[in-house]
Amino acid sequence: MRLGVISDVHGNRVALEAVRDDMPDVDRLVCAGDVVGYNPWPVDCVAAVREQEVPTVMGNHDRAVAGETPFRFNSMAAAGVEYARERLDEDALSWLADLPPERVVADGRVKLVHGHPDDPDRYTYPDEFSARMLDGEDLLVTGHTHVQGHRVFEDGVVMNPGSVGQPRDGDPRAGYAVVELGDREGGDAVTVEERRVEYDVDAVVDAVREAGLPERIGTRLYEGR
């Protein structure tokens, strides 16, 4: 089975479209959360994920837009949350509110979380990935940090596909991954291909300004920060 793996779209329709255009044929697309937040296309991004019936978990921005959250946001993040909350209809807000904190797909072989299996709001960077994060699955997919990376352990693979809509690893290109789930009895049960694709950052910066959102939401995309 071949999976397309995305996370942290953050309302960036331009980046999401670039990723979908660049992605090779996959059997299924999965998402590790934060479909909304920051950028000015929350309606379009929620619609795209829902229309494709993408298995998705709840990110901290998704939770904040749908209702209350203990997570503390900076001014840019708070502005994006409020912007999305004002523009999504009740049906879309209900969809966000119903997203689970974790989800198991591919016949139990893949688990999706947003931050960490023990805490969805915990930032867990690739150099912190450990075999202890695995609980029987072949692949654990995380998001939240916006930093692309994966580690292979004897019992499985822990990965972050990177952020579609707001990379923070110094590479401004949209991040995602393609995963091959091979034979469990073979030597390569899981193969991860980390991918990046350029998109029209200028268009996002212009849209951020036109939406009245904090300008830095857009300009930071040039830096991949």
Domain boundaries, the chain: 2-222
Statement: residue 189 has pLDDT above 90? no
**Rounded Cα distance, 154 and 172, in Å:** 32
- The CA distance from 17 to 179, in Å, is 19
pLDDT digits (tens, 9 = 90+) for 18-29: 999 999 999 999
Q: What is the pLDDT of residues 15-65, one digit of tens each?
A: 999 999 999 999 999 999 999 999 999 999 999 999 999 999 999 999 999
Q: Are 8 and 56 in contact (CB under 8 A)?
A: no
Q: How far apart are CA 7 and CA 28, in angstroms?
A: 14
At 64, is the secondary structure helix, strand, or coil?
helix
- pTM reported for the whole predicted model: 0.95
Per the CB < 8 A criterion, the answer to whether 183 and 197 are in contact is no
The values of phi and psi at residue 178, to 5°, are: -120, 130
Distance CA 224, CA 98 (A): 31
Q: How far is CA 182 from the centre of its chain?
A: 23
Going through the chain in order, the beta strands assigned E by DSSP cover 2-6, 28-31, 102-105, 110-113, 139-141, 149-153, 156-160, 174-181, 190-197
Query: At the topology level of CATH, where does 2-222 sit?
Result: Purple Acid Phosphatase; chain A, domain 2 (3.60.21)
At residue 87, what are phi and psi to the nearest 5 degrees? -105, -20
